[in-house]
């Protein structure tokens, strides 16, 4: 059982996760930001590793990836930075990014390094489910890493149930099929989608992401899922002066 499993065993609702891009706004800010977020009271954390073609990301996270790459962030450097992760941060940590840099790094090697530095799970939006099952699932299992699958309003019930079978922590429920950064607007269709997934009584809890930016959208997401993930709104904060001192207030504005 890793830290994610322990978290979901002990806390069933109102969970808050924050996403940010490693190497942004400064190359060596990763652990400082992670530590500040834990002190502010979030439940778990997603650290994105930058990629030159982040197709699912909106302009805010795209900009952070571009800047991080310009700053010199690489997977090699990120793992070097994360060597001291567990000296400073105790909450569950996920890495999030695209499959291309993982394959270039070597999937088996990537999983081993992630486990060595204390990472609990991986989110790879463009990793096909069949590839994960056939080629990579053993590397995740051998290193006690959870693979987090994404579900959209267009995902069939059959696929959702298969995702639930393959998952062992939570399912990432996208509020839309669009890019990150939009505001969560719960239309009748989206509400039906949330209700449909909730009525399936999956064994894994759902966490809603994309468009969570304030207390209103966070609270709305928590009506249908165990919690929510804030990404673009936090990355915007990191682009301002004195961002470390603002993190506590930001978290309180999402979940008072």
Q: Which CATH architecture has domain 3-254?
A: Alpha-Beta Barrel (3.20)
Rounded-to-integer distance, Cα 49 and Cα 69, Å: 9
- The predicted pLDDT at position 52 comes to 80
* Alpha-carbon gap, residue 145 to 124, rounded angstroms: 13
| Dist CA 228 CA 206 (whole Å) | 9
Residues 43 and 16 sit within 8 Å (Cβ to Cβ): yes
Q: Where exactly are the structural domains of the chain?
A: 3-254
| Mean pLDDT in order along the chain per 10 residues (256 residues) | 92 97 97 98 97 74 94 97 96 96 97 98 95 96 97 93 96 70 52 91 95 92 95 96 98 97
Residues assigned a catalytic role: 46, 57
Q: What is the pLDDT of residue 54?
A: 63
Q: Which two tokens stand for residue 152?
A: 């959209």
Q: Check residue 188 and give its pLDDT.
A: 53
């Amino acid at each position: 059982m890793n830290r994610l499993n322990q978290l979901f065993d002990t806390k069933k609702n109102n969970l808050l996760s924050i996403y940010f891009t490693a190497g942004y706004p400064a190359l060596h800010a990763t652990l400082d930001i992670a530590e500040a977020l834990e002190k502010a009271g979030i439940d778990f954390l997603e650290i994105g590793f930058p990629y030159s073609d982040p197709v699912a990301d909106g302009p805010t996270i795209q900009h952070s990836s571009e800047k991080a790459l310009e700053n010199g962030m690489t997977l090699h450097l990120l793992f070097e930075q994360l060597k001291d992760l567990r000296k400073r941060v105790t909450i569950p940590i996920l890495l999030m990014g695209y499959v291309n840099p993982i394959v270039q790094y070597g999937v088996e090697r990537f999983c081993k390094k992630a486990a060595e530095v204390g990472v609990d799970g991986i989110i790879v939006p463009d990793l096909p489910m069949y590839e994960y099952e056939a080629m990579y699932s053993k590397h995740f299992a051998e290193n006690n890493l959870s693979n987090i699958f994404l579900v959209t309003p267009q995902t069939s019930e059959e696929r959702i149930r298969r995702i639930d079978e393959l998952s062992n922590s939570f399912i990432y429920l996208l509020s839309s099929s669009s890019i990150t950064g939009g505001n969560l607007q719960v239309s009748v269709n989206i509400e039906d989608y949330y209700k449909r997934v909730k009525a399936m009584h999956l064994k894994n809890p759902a966490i809603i992401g994309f468009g969570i930016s304030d207390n209103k959208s966070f609270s709305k997401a928590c009506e249908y899922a165990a919690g929510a993930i804030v990404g673009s709104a936090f990355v915007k904060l990191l682009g301002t002066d004195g961002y470390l001192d603002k993190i506590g207030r930001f978290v309180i504005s999402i979940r008072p």
